[in-house]
A and B are shown apart, each in its own frame.
Chain A
Amino acid sequence: MDILASTRQAFALLFSGDAELWTIIWISLRVSLTALALATPPAVILGYALAQKRFFGRRILVVLIQGLLSFPTVVVGLILYILLTRQGPLGSWQLLFTQEAMIMGQAVIAFPVLAAFALAAVQGADPRAHETAVSLGASPLRAALTTLLEVRFAVVAGVFNGFGRVISEVGCAMMVGGNIAGVTRNIPTAIALETSKGDFAQGIALGVVLMLFALGISITLGLLQGRGGLK
């Protein structure tokens, strides 16, 4: 297989507005962004609570979240598959091999990343912001918002890291999505399929898009850190 020819074909595909290619990219973005939108609020609330509050089971939760950071995504896929299969406890929802199933999987995969970043951010925050807010008569909710606003760049960094993890994730997406063309075929599962077919051009084109995403994330994070006072 001629690498040069494949690469040239790949760029032709990218710039010709190939409908199939852009559908795959769109599905990837839609699934991953929805998953992050669903996972971020509860994860940030949990991260904040773990940093600020002292309650029974807190340490266990912190250890658990840190452990889940490196939880294998195929195991998430396996558990979700067992839950969603027709014979499974949630079988009646008929969600296996749908985008919803992929979103559920990615939300679970992103959750510990988001929570861990929020936890670290709030722990590293200047405690005076919270104290000042409280002393000025802010409600606990108001004080929490003040603190989170103070560390918003670190929280957003977590969101970007979570995005980086789910956008490139192939194991769970393949298992619960099924790689159905135009429905659940996202960038990673499409690359896996194209390679297995021996068709490298589309794989390379999608790989380029994925790497551009990664580069975009890293540039955005760099800009945020420059501006966000993470001195």
Chain B
Amino acid sequence: MRSKLASFCRIVAALGLALPALPLAAAEFKLAATHTLEDSGLLATLIPAFEAASGVKVRLAIGGTGQVIRLAANGDVDAVMSHVKAQEEQLVASGAGLKRHAVAFNDFLIAGPPQDPARIRGLQDAVEVMRRIRAAKARFISRGDASGTHVKERELWRAAGLEPRWAGYMSAGVGMGRVLMMAGEMQAYTLSDRATFAAFRARTGLELLAAGDARLYNEYGVVAVNPARFPGINADAAARFVSWLTSAEAQRLIAGFRIGGQQVFFAPAKAR
């Protein structure tokens, strides 16, 4: 028994020693990005194009904005793409990030079941939409994961002066695509970015019910992690990625990205 245990320990120790020695390509670049960028399919267009243009191999970490900003703040990745401008600027102000660049924008919308029990179809005022959903005690699925979409949703509840707490309000804690799938299954309303909604529309049977409020503006930014703070990071690749992403070539790809023939991301006005 003892010898078995000893040999087991030896195997575990050997594995532990071998793990860090696994080949990690020197040119590898770690990028953290949000669920909406991944679930909409935009990254699947951008990343191979960047890899082809630069020869840099990209390793993606996907999470909500809260999580990916945290990864960057801890120096766990080389650059981050997210969509809460205040948090990106905070990352820069703290010294962990270099400079924020706007990359793309679109808008949020309120999706829901075709029956529309809360009667929000065609409304433009996003706060009125939230009020009606709350008043109807309709089902609503929240991302609940401190993501950019979740931050926006909380902003809307605050603007409406409402506490999102009723039996039909469900906090899911998963990515945008999965929340849309759940909303489709449960015939619930949810706040989504336009791109992921378009990518999941056919699968969920949900409809675009309300959009167009200026408060629903959704802008994506990129920040490279500061090599002065975290010497281990791949600063060269991060700088190349940021300059590529803001280049005319990448901006053309972003504006040209289509879901079902529809443009879902727009190049920021400031872009070159």
Contact = CB atoms under 8 A, between A and B. Distances in A.
Interface of A: 1, 85-86, 96-97, 174, 178-183, 185, 189, 193, 196-199
B146 A197 contact: yes
Nearest to B175: A196
Contacts of B58: none
B185 A86 contact: yes
B70 A181 contact: no
Interface in B154-213: 170-174, 178, 182, 184-186
Given A85-B185, A196-B67, A197-B66, A180 B146 contact: no
B171 A197 contact: no
A180 B63 contact: no
Given A85-B185, A178-B182, A196 B172 contact: no
Given A97-B182, A97-B185, A181-B144, A197 B170 contact: no
B112 interface: no
Contact of B170 (A85, A86, A181, A199): A181
Given A197-B146, A198-B67, A181 B174 contact: no
Contacts of B170: 178, 180-181, 183
Contacts of A197: 64, 66-67, 145-146, 173
9 contacts: A179-B172, A180-B170, A181-B171, A189-B173, A193-B145, A196-B64, A197-B67, A198-B70, A198-B71
B45 interface: no
Contacts of A193: 145, 173-174
Contacts of B66: 197-198
A222 to B, nearest CB: 15
A197 B151 CA distance: 13
B74 interface: yes
Given A1-B74, A196-B64, A97 B145 contact: no
B174 A179 contact: yes
A80 B71 CA distance: 34
Contact of B145 (A96, A174, A180, A196): A196
A70 to B, nearest CB: 19
Given A193-B174, A197-B67, A197-B173, 8 more contacts: A96-B186, A180-B171, A180-B172, A189-B173, A196-B63, A196-B173, A197-B66, A197-B145
A199 B70 CA distance: 10
Nearest to B178: A178
B173 A185 contact: yes
A118 B139 CA distance: 44
Contacts of A86: 184-185
Pairs A-B, 8 closest by C-beta atoms: A198-B70, A181-B171, A193-B173, A180-B170, A179-B173, A197-B146, A96-B185, A196-B67
A196 B144 CA distance: 11
Interface in B75-133: none
Interface string B56-67: 000000011011
Contacts of A199: 146
Nearest to A185: B173
A120 B142 CA distance: 47
B165 to A, nearest CB: 10
A66 B184 CA distance: 37
Nearest to A193: B173
Nearest to B73: A198
Contacts of B184: 86
Nearest to A199: B146
Contacts of B63: 196
Q: Which of B70, B74, B172 has the most CB of A within 10 A?
A: B172
A183 B139 CA distance: 14
A1 B66 CA distance: 14
A180 B185 CA distance: 14
Nearest to B63: A196
